[in-house]
Amino acid sequence: MDSSDEDYNVMQVLYNNKKNTWCLFLGHLVIEKLLKALYAKNNKSAPHAPKSHDLLYLIEKIGLDITDEQENLLNTITKFNMSARYDDYKKEFYLKCTDDYTKEQIENIEEVRKWLKNLLMTK
């Protein structure tokens, strides 16, 4: 959770400096790390989370029931990992990451982050 919180702070700095693609890439890491923390918490006998960046796959491995809206948010956030990382996706992703789009996605990341942190604190 600490690493996720640190990434969240860096995400905010990148957002404030209009580094939108990298901001969203870190937003993905924020959520991925929280999911992996939840996996570890729920699997104390084998706490090493799957080596995957696919958030829906991690949700499946944790065994969480999610709404269609949450599934859509997580699917979108998962794409930030590849789009910011690989050259053949970067330009298209860069053009997509307008200030308005990035603001909307940051709000979505914050919503998912709040939900996951609540699960980590209560389960």
| pLDDT at 123 > cutoff 60 | no
Model pLDDT, residue 84: 62
Contact 58, 117 (CB under 8 A): no
Residue 28: closest CA among 117, 105, 120: 105
Number of domains in the chain: 1
Q: Which domain holds residue 109?
A: 2-122
pLDDT-derived band of residue 98, with 50, 70 and 90 as boundaries? very high
Q: Which two tokens stand for residue 27?
A: 């937003």
Tens of pLDDT, residue by residue over 2-15, are: 999 999 999 999 99
CATH number of the domain residue 18 falls in: 1.20.120.330
Task: Output the pLDDT for position 27.
Answer: 97
pTM recorded for the entire structure: 0.92
